[in-house]
């Protein structure tokens, strides 16, 4: 009498033969075949798609007891994934709308986010793979399916290609496994999305009070008389001498300012300065020419401003002709009557004859200069808009004080501080030095510089501009504070790109929880993707000839035609019963 499965509780195995790679059905397979035949009706043909049999309707008993410890590794991996994505979010909140220069770590924010996102995705794939492996047991425990679906589930737990295969071949019949397969596929975009989260932009940051520009409400230096014996020699300070000579030779001395960046700006301010005005007085100049007792022709020039100059022409001498001459006059250095610092006239004789000179008259006066829009852009200084305010002297009745006060004219609508002060000694030094410069002729170096200038008016303007900057660097000057504009790289978080990584992690955690709940309800052992579980299961309902195969391809084709459900026999052994 043949033995039934109930009488032979030992578990039988179908193992590959190491010699020829085919499924072997030796002594143990014969015993299994006998058991299979005992449980099958002999006259009824086998239909692999028939699921109406009683043994294929519901599981006979709970297949295993659910234990929480079986999921500790997957839970730990999910926690690591959550921690990593939380670290990414924390970095994003800490760096959003902040300057990159404030980042103090050696590794860049992008690199750090990439590290955490990679760890998060890699950790998340651990529970995803385990859950997909576990769902195949639930899949077969609930109802009959093709044996080949086991391979499909295993491939889905290994990566995106297998996940797509599961969606294509099993689709929604796989239940929760579809959800896990979608997560596996969507996770491919995890890293590209995290790399798009951070964007960098350049911003102009204004730092107030970092830029400085010299200005003065008064002109006072610490320069003193250089006394030798009883005579005092009035010398202008060297900084002012250098400014005058730079303007005379049209040398652009760098403007003294402090700008710690390539771009700075200053508010509107007014400072003590010097201005110039020149007119061509050729037509109004009286010319008187004659020949002296030495047979030398001469011409006297009297300008409208009262300047007297004399030129000579001697063709029999090495010194043939006066080419240039200038004359200056000043007020009493210590008792000024107005804002004029010095006046002078020049005569430039460019033709052969003395009767046609080019006469220019110039005045240099004190003024109050308002700068509007002074700035430095890309390292280039721009003076902006300049407006000069005329000054009038406020006379000291007895001129006891040497600190002269000049006020902006009352009809000027200027609303700032209207009073400016000039120390008499410094004024005297400056006047005397300018008088030496502008009382010259073509035989002297200073006269040569004036004669060769393209425009006397432009040269004098250069001189007064240079002198004005020197006043802003004097002992009595102060600093006008401006704004330094720095270009900084800022971090901008594009939150929309965070949606996919966050969604994938949350979906993965939810997938793990759902799989654990499904496992407990189904009463299936927590075998996951273990390769040992199939070794302890046996096939029930097939003859030995039904399970033979000579190649992997034949195995795959054959498994698609066999339907089974996972169950346990009376002895508690796991089996796949034919349905």
What is the per-residue pLDDT across 379-402, written as a single tens digit (0 to 9) for each? 899 999 999 999 999 876 555 557
Say what the pLDDT of residue 575 is.
58
Are 278 and 139 found together in one domain?
Answer: no
Clarify whether residues 307 and 372 are in a common domain: yes
Residue 469: other Cβ atoms inside 10 A: 21
What would the mean pLDDT of 426-432 be, rounded to a whole number? 88
Same domain, yes or no: 402 and 366 = yes
> What b/e readout covers 526-559, taking b as 16+ CB neighbours within 10 angstroms?
bbbbeeebeeebbbbbbebebbebeeeeebeebb
Same domain, 164 and 251: no
194 in Cβ contact with 117 (< 8 Å): yes
- Percent of residues, the chain, with pLDDT higher than 90: 39
What does the pLDDT look like over 94-122, one tens digit per residue? 999 999 989 999 999 999 999 999 999 99
Query: Could you say which DSSP state residue 210 is in?
Result: E
pTM of the model: 0.61
Q: How far is CA 540 from CA 186, 364, 516, 554, in A?
A: 39, 119, 28, 20
Q: How far apart are CA 467 and CA 243, in angstroms?
A: 5
Residue at 12 is within a domain: no
Cα 456 to Cα 423: distance, rounded to the nearest angstrom: 29
pLDDT in tens, 341-358: 999 999 888 766 677 888
Clarify whether residues 444 and 327 are in a common domain: yes
- Quick one: how far is CA 62 from the chain centroid? 62
Q: Domain for residue 326, yes or no?
A: yes
Give me the pLDDT at residue 211, please: 93
Instruction: Decide if pLDDT at 270 tops 90.
Output: yes
Domain endpoint, select from 465, 487, 509: 487
Question: What pLDDT does 63 receive?
Answer: 52
Same domain, residue pair 114 and 164: yes
In whole angstroms, what separates CA 251 from the centre of its chain? Answer: 39
Asked whether residue 20 is assigned to any structural domain, the reply reads: no
- The answer to whether residues 519 and 249 touch, using CB atoms and an 8 Å cutoff, is no
- Examine the domain organization and report whether 231 and 254 are in the same domain: yes
Q: How confident is the model over 190-206, as pLDDT tens digits?
A: 999 999 999 999 998 88
User: What is the per-residue pLDDT for 204?
Assistant: 86
Nearest to 272 by CA among 464, 483, 410, 430: 464
CB-based contact 195:110 (threshold 8 Å) = yes
Let me know whether 176 and 315 are in one domain.
Answer: no
**Same domain? 460 vs 390:** yes
Residue 544 lies in a domain: no
Final residue in a domain of this structure, among 507, 525, 543: 525
The count of structural domains within the chain is 2
**Domain-located, residue 313:** yes
Q: Is 15 helix (H, G, I), strand (E, B) or coil?
A: coil
Calpha distance 431→427 (Å, rounded): 6
> Is there a single domain that holds both residue 383 and residue 518?
no
- Per-residue pLDDT tens over the stretch 271-289: 999 999 999 999 999 988 8
Domain boundary, last residue among 461, 487, 513: 487
- Asked if the model's pLDDT at residue 437 lies above 60, the reply is yes
How far apart CA 76 and CA 512 sit, in angstroms, is 11
The number of beta carbons lying within 10 Å of the beta carbon of residue 348 is: 19
* Mean local confidence (pLDDT), 160-180: 83
Task: Give the whole-angstrom CA distance, residue 304 versus residue 286.
Answer: 8
Phi and psi dihedrals of 183, rounded to 5? -60, -45
Structure confidence at residue 551 (pLDDT): 59
Surface-to-core class of residue 449, CB atoms within 10 Å of its CB (0-12 exposed, 13-18 middle, 19+ buried): middle
Residues 250 and 346 in one domain: yes
Q: Is residue 7 a part of any domain in this protein?
A: no
pLDDT at res. 451: 87
pLDDT top residue among 315 and 465: 465
Is the predicted pLDDT of residue 229 greater than 50, yes or no? no
Provide the mean pLDDT of the chain.
Answer: 79
Specify if 241 maps to a domain: yes
Average pLDDT of span 229-250:
72
Tally helices (H) and strands (E) across the chain. Answer: 13, 24
Is there a single domain that holds both residue 217 and residue 153?
no
Give the model confidence (pLDDT) of 286-335 as tens digits: 988 888 877 788 889 999 999 999 888 876 655 566 778 888 988 765 67
Residue 415 confidence (pLDDT): 86
Domain coverage including residue 160: 65-197+495-525
The helix/strand/coil state of 183 is: helix
Range of lowest pLDDT (147-151, 371-375, 521-525, 575-579): 575-579
Inform me whether the pLDDT recorded for 147 exceeds 80: no
């Amino acid at each position: 009498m043949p033995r039934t499965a109930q009488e032979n509780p030992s578990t039988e195995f179908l193992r590959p033969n190491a010699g020829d790679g085919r499924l072997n059905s030796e002594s143990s397979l014969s015993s299994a075949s006998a058991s299979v035949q005992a449980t099958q009706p002999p006259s009824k043909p086998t239909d692999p798609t028939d699921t109406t049999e009683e043994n294929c309707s519901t599981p006979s008993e709970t297949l295993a007891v659910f234990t929480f410890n079986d999921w500790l590794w997957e839970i730990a991996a999910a926690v690591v994934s959550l921690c990593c994505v939380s670290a990414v979010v924390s970095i994003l909140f800490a760096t959003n709308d902040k300057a990159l220069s404030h980042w103090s770590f050696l590794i860049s924010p992008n690199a750090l986010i990439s590290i955490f996102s990679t760890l998060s995705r890699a950790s998340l794939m651990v529970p995803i793979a385990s859950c997909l492996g576990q769902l195949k047991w639930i899949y077969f425990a609930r109802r009959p399916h093709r044996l080949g679906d086991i391979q499909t589930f295993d491939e889905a737990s290994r990566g995106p290609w297998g996940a797509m295969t599961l969606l294509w071949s099993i689709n929604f019949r796989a239940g929760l496994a579809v959800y896990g397969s979608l997560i596996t596929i969507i996770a491919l975009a995890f890293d590209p999305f995290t790399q798009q989260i951070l964007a960098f932009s350049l911003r102009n940051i204004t730092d107030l009070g970092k830029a400085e520009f010299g200005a003065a409400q008064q002109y006072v230096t610490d320069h003193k008389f250089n006394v030798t014996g009883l005579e005092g020699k009035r010398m202008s300070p060297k900084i002012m001498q250098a400014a005058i000579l730079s303007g005379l030779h049209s040398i652009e001395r760098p403007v003294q300012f402090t700008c710690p960046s390539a771009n700075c700006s200053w508010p509107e301010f007014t400072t003590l300065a010097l201005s110039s005005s020149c007119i061509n007085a050729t037509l109004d100049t009286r010319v008187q020419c004659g020949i002296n007792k030495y047979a030398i022709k001469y011409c006297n020039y009297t300008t409208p401003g009262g300047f007297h100059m004399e030129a000579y022409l001697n063709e029999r001498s090495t010194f043939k002709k006066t080419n240039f001459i200038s004359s200056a006059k000043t007020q009493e250095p210590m008792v000024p009557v107005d804002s004029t610092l010095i006046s002078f006239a020049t005569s430039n004789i460019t033709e052969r004859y003395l009767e046609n000179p080019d006469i220019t008259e110039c005045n240099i006066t004190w003024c109050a200069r308002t700068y509007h829009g002074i700035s430095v852009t890309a390292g280039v200084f721009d003076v902006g808009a300049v407006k000069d305010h005329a000054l009038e002297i406020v006379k000291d009745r007895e001129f006891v004080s040497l600190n002269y006060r000049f006020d902006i004219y009352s009809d000027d609508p200027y609303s700032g501080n209207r009073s400016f002060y000039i120390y008499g000694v410094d004024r005297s030094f400056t006047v005397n030095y300018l008088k030496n410069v502008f009382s010259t002729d073509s035989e002297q170096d200073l006269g040569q510089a004036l004669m060769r200038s393209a425009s006397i008016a432009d040269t004098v303007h250069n001189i007064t501009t240079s002198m004005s900057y020197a006043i802003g660097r004097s002992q009595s000057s102060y600093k006008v504070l401006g704004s330094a504009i720095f270009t900084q790289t800022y971090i901008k978080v594009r939150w929309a790109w965070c949606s996919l990584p966050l969604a994938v992690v949350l979906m993965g955690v939810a997938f793990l929880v759902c799989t654990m709940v499904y496992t407990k309800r189904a009463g299936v052992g927590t075998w996951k993707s273990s390769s040992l579980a199939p070794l302890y299961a046996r096939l029930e309902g097939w003859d030995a000839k039904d399970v033979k195969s000579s190649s992997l391809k034949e195995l795959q084709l054959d498994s698609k035609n066999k339907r089974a459900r996972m169950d346990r026999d009376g002895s508690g052994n796991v089996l796949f019963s034919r349905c």
